[in-house]
Amino acid sequence: MAYPSSTRRPSAYRGGPPPKRSGNAAAVVIAGVVVVGLIVLVVAVSGGSKPPPPSETPVVKATPTPAAPPSTSPAAEKPWPVIPPETFEQAKTLAASFADDARRADALYSESLKAKQAGDDALWQKKLGEAKQLYEGIKNRWNDFVDGLPSNRDHDAEEVLRKFFLRESGQVQAYIKKLGNMKSDERIK
C-alpha cells in the first residue's frame, strides 16, 4: 500500500525505514502498576503501617524453682559404703605417724644433695637410698590402708579415699612429694 507523500513522516535516518517502536514500554508501565497495587493491597490487609498498640499483660512474679532434694541427684543415688568410725581414726593416726619418717627422709635427702654438690657420689647415693626407703615405706603403708578401705559396686577404694579421707591423703602426698625428684638422681646398681 502506498501512502500519499503528504501523510508520510520524514525518516530520521537517511534513506532508511522509520525506527520501530517497542511494545516493552507499555509492559513495564503495566508491571509497575501491578507491583504498586500489590504493595497497597498487602499494607491494607495487614492493617496499615502502624502496629496495633500492645495489650495490657498482667505482671507475673516468677518464683524460683525449688532445688531437687539431695537424694534425687545422680551422685546421691549411688550409696557410699559404710565407713566404720575406727577407720576415720586409723587414717588420722596413720597420717600423723608419717611425720617423723618424713622429717628423717627430708634430712637424708638434704644430706644427699650436699654430698652431690661436694662431688662425693658414694655418700650421695647412700643418703639418697636411705631417704628413698623411708619415703617408700610411707607410701606403702598408706597404700595398704587405702587397699583396706570399704568399697561397693558403685564406689571403689580410690573414690572412697577422695570422698572421706582427702585431708589425710593430702598430708601423705606432701610427705612423699620428694620421692619423684629422687628417681632421676638415683643410679641403678
pLDDT in tens, 103-153: 999 999 999 999 999 999 999 999 999 999 999 999 999 999 999 999 999
25-37 burial: b if 16+ Cβ within 10 Å, else e = eeeeeeeeeeeee
CA-to-CA distance for 81 and 86, rounded, in angstroms?
14
One-letter amino acid identity for 134? L
Position 25 scores a pLDDT of 76
The answer to whether residue 64 is domain-embedded is no
Does residue 35 have a pLDDT over 70? yes
Task: Choose among 181, 185, 187, 189: nearest CA to 117.
Answer: 185
The pTM of this model reads 0.57
86-106 average pLDDT score:
95
Residue 38 is assigned to a structural domain of this protein: no
Range of the domain at 143: 83-185
- Rounded to whole angstroms, the Cα distance separating 105 from 127 reads 9
63 part of a folded domain = no
* Burial (CB count <10 Å: 0-12, 13-18, 19+), residue 175: buried
Within a domain: 92: yes
State yes or no: pLDDT of 4 exceeds 60: no
The count of structural domains within the chain is 1
Alpha helices in the chain (DSSP H): 24-45, 74-77, 85-118, 121-147, 157-164, 166-175, 179-185
The one-character DSSP state at 13 is: S
**In-domain check, residue 99:** yes
Mean confidence (pLDDT) of the chain? 81
As given in the structure block, the three cell numbers for residue 149 are: 578401705
Is residue 150 assigned to a domain? yes
166 within some domain: yes
CA dihedral 93, 95, 99, 102 (to 10 degrees): 150
- 31 found inside a domain: no
> Contact at 8 Å (CB) between 150 and 91?
no
